[in-house]
Copies of this chain bind each other. A is one copy, B any other.
């Protein structure tokens, strides 16, 4: 299906039989990194592995928020629907990302799996209890929230002050950056999301995204491959994005 996604889905490492949180390969990427030893055992007692099929919704905008999640495999699309039907894709949660950072009453976005996805689910009340008991976990959540806020501000700047071409180039580079952060370094970039998702993320139309990708392909800045793009001339993209 996706020819460039690398190793396919496997069982959730948060599953107790697999060694639990201590062995979780996304632990150091996630808020769980705030915890050690027996604290991890407490966390593990709360965790429930969860598997989503492609296009399956994890939760919807407006639903009462009864759980928080940690993505361990795959990609989740976070979006908002406007009253008139227009959609805005806030972002994409990838391996190590935490959903429900702010511990809100109700979810403010809809979360849907883009492909086969696994997560760790934590009951919100129980998790909130743990947070209340472990200040450095709260500390870590807050740091993460600050980081997210910063990303959100970057994205605002992108949305408000940049041309379509700059948006697409920045998007690809930001995605490469995120893959690098989770140890995926390849010139070929998987795009688990569709063109419409990219458009709704960048405030463009699907046609514009398509046109720009083909143009960048034609100009040999990248190569469109099934399920992703190969960044042939990353320097050129960087120049476009920086402008």
**A86 proximity list for chain B (CB < 8 A):** 161
Q: Which of B101, B132, B242 contacts A83 (CB 8 A)?
A: B242
A93 in the interface, Cβ–Cβ < 8 Å? no
Q: Tell me the residues in window 71-112 of chain A with beta carbons closer than 8 Å to chain B beta carbons.
A: 80, 82-84, 86-88, 90, 101-104, 108-109
**Pairwise interchain contact A146-B104, C-beta atoms closer than 8 A:** yes
Q: Which one of A86, A138, A161, A202 has the highest number of Cβ atoms from chain B below 10 Å of its Cβ?
A: A161
Q: Which of B80, B102, B104, B150 contacts A108 (CB 8 A)?
A: B150
A186 in the interface, Cβ–Cβ < 8 Å? no
Q: Decide yes or no: A157 and B83 within 8 Å by CB, A146-B101, A146-B145 being known contacts.
A: no
**A103 proximity list for chain B (CB < 8 A):** 146
**Pairwise interchain contact B242-A88, C-beta atoms closer than 8 A:** no
Q: Which of B87, B145, B160 contacts A159 (CB 8 A)?
A: B160
**Pairwise interchain contact A203-B161, C-beta atoms closer than 8 A:** yes
Q: Which of B138, B150, B202, B203 contacts A139 (CB 8 A)?
A: B138
A138 to B138, CA, bound (A): 8
A1 in the interface, Cβ–Cβ < 8 Å? no
Chain A interface, >50% SS class: helix
Shortest CB–CB separation between residue A142 and chain B, in angstroms?
Answer: 5
Q: Decide yes or no: A156 and B145 within 8 Å by CB, A82-B161, A138-B138, A161-B86 being known contacts.
A: no
A101 to B102, CA, bound (A): 14
Q: Map CB proximity to B onto A132-160 as digits: 1 under 8 Å, 0 otherwise.
A: 10010011011101111110110111011
Shortest CB–CB separation between residue A44 and chain B, in angstroms?
Answer: 23
Q: Which of B87, B102, B243 contacts A149 (CB 8 A)?
A: B102
Q: Map CB proximity to B onto A156-175 as digits: 1 under 8 Å, 0 otherwise.
A: 11011100000000000000
Binding site for B on A (CB under 8 A): 80, 82-84, 86-88, 90, 101-104, 108-109, 132, 135, 138-139, 141-143, 145-150, 152-153, 155-157, 159-161, 202-203, 242-243
A-B pairs with beta carbons under 8 Å apart, 8 shown: A80-B157, A88-B157, A88-B161, A101-B146, A141-B142, A152-B156, A155-B156, A156-B156
